[in-house]
Amino acid sequence: MIRTAYAVIHLKSIRHNVQQVRLAAPHSKIMAVIKANAYGHGLLRVAQALNDSVDGFAVARVQEGIRLRKAGFQHRIVVLEGFTKTEEVQNLLHYDLEASIHSPHQIEILRHQQEKKRLGIWIKLDTGMNRLGFKARDVRNVCEQLNTFSVVKKPFNFMTHFANADDKNDLKTSQQIELFNILTADFDGEKSMANSAGILAWKDSLTDWVRAGIMLYGISPFSDSTGKDLGLRPLMSLHSRLISVRDVAAGETVGYSGTWTSPVSTKLGVVAIGYGDGYPRYAESGTPVLVNGERVPLVGRVSMDMITVDLGINSNAKAGDGVILWGDNLPVEEIALCSNTIPYTLVCGITPRVEIVESKNIDPIF
């Protein structure tokens, strides 16, 4: 079978990116955040590639943790959203997964556990995100209760999550760090604050564990830089090909609603990629696309299966030629900016129609 739309996962790059995390946080253990199918790159594939180079894994849901255990991974695995039901606690215990504890509802569930096994927990403190976690005034009370529960492994651990760490000038992050340090000072147990932005920009946030997500995939957590600028290597590239090349005259419109009008006569290329593959529907006219390695602009609306690009009147491109939507020489960060989104959503949003290929399985022509 010939591939149409496919994503190449350059697994070697992830080892390099882990090294960059180690350099930035030399005294911390690394929890690799591989939730949401490893940000679209494939849960087990990425876990395997990271196997002996990280200290633990973090996922969002219990089910994701179970998949890792069933595949044989023996690392510590933290479930960042914790649990909401007793059955989930039983699964966490059975599969030796650790849970974030962020709400009174969870404390009530733990209060009634009769299990002999011990659950590793991370108490989530809300230091300013206002999403999950306990407020400063509740910390002492929460810890006192959890201390009396035999199902809870002691000492328990603490974490918090930053709201604005991608803005290097926002003092909110310093305040979150300070509050977390004050609230946890009297407790043993491990502590964790930093996501990728924290690892790279907020050295005070580097504690026992860092939680590296987006930077492992070679993508910058900041809107003013690319992964490459930060010494990272992108893990994913997205590919397809031209399925048609045609002439249009000056003044003709292209695509649904005719949102783009050609100012001159030119050649248009039609690329087999669309929002049905996870290419962003809101990519604006002008978003760069690589056709045979040359940058050309997307023109008109993105449709489900296709986009159109302005190849220029002198182009020699023809149907069947290779196209890169993002990758080594076309940062996904740039495509995100052109689509009014963040690169996280683009890599997470690749749909099952897109074939995933590991780079060791393809010719090195990319």
Ligand X SMILES: *Cc1c(COP(=O)(O)O)cnc(C)c1O
- Taking residue 79's Cβ as centre, other Cβ atoms within 10 Å add up to 26
Query: Closest distance between ligand X and the C-beta of residue 137, in Å?
Result: 22
Options 212, 235, 245, 330; binder of ligand X; rule CB under 6 A:
212
Largest CA distance in the chain: 77
Options 14, 49, 80, 236; binder of ligand X; rule CB under 6 A:
80
Considering the complex, state which of residue 10 and residue 211 has its C-beta at the smaller distance from ligand X: 211
With beta carbons less than 8 A apart as the criterion, state whether 270 and 306 touch.
Answer: yes
Query: Closest distance between ligand X and the C-beta of residue 197, in Å?
Result: 6
Q: Interface mask (CB under 6 A) for ligand X, residues 265-304, using x and -? A: ----------------------------------------
Which stretch of DSSP H or E encloses residue 66?
Answer: helix 62-70
Considering the complex, state which of residue 35 and residue 191 has its C-beta at the smaller distance from ligand X: 35
Considering the complex, state which of residue 213 and residue 300 has its C-beta at the smaller distance from ligand X: 213
Q: Say whether 217 is catalytic.
A: no
Query: Closest distance between ligand X and the C-beta of residue 69, in Å?
Result: 20
**Distance in angstroms (rounded) separating the CA atoms of residues 278 and 276:** 6
**Direct distance between the N- and C-terminal alpha carbons of the chain, in angstroms, rounded to an integer:** 19
**Distance in angstroms (rounded) separating the CA atoms of residues 176 and 181:** 9
Considering the complex, state which of residue 80 and residue 296 has its C-beta at the smaller distance from ligand X: 80
102 binds ligand X (CB under 6 A): no
Backbone angles phi, psi at 8, to 5 degrees: -100, 130
Which residue's C-beta sits nearest to ligand X? 213
214 binds ligand X (CB under 6 A): yes
Q: Say whether 344 is catalytic.
A: no
Give 254's contacts (C-beta < 8 A, 6+ positions apart): 248, 260, 261, 262, 268, 299, 300, 308
Residues in binding contact with ligand X, number by CB under 6 A: 12
Q: Which amino acid is at 254?
A: V
Q: Interface mask (CB under 6 A) for ligand X, residues 179-198, using x and -? A: ----------------xxx-
Query: Closest distance between ligand X and the C-beta of residue 342, in Å?
Result: 10
211 binds ligand X (CB under 6 A): yes
Catalytic residue among 35, 124, 191, 267: 35
28 binds ligand X (CB under 6 A): no
Could you tell me the CA-to-CA distances from 318 to 241, 243, 322 in Å, in that order?
10, 8, 9
- Taking residue 226's Cβ as centre, other Cβ atoms within 10 Å add up to 17
218 binds ligand X (CB under 6 A): no
Catalytic residue among 85, 117, 168, 256: 256
Query: Closest distance between ligand X and the C-beta of residue 278, in Å?
Result: 18
**Distance in angstroms (rounded) separating the CA atoms of residues 183 and 355:** 47
Residue showing tokens 């979150």: 176
Which residue from 255, 256, 332, 257 is spatially nearest to 289, judged by alpha carbons? 332
Backbone angles phi, psi at 58, to 5 degrees: -125, 135
Considering the complex, state which of residue 205 and residue 240 has its C-beta at the smaller distance from ligand X: 205
Binding site for ligand X (CB under 6 A): 33, 35, 80, 161, 195-197, 211-214, 221
**What are the residue numbers of the active site?**
35, 256
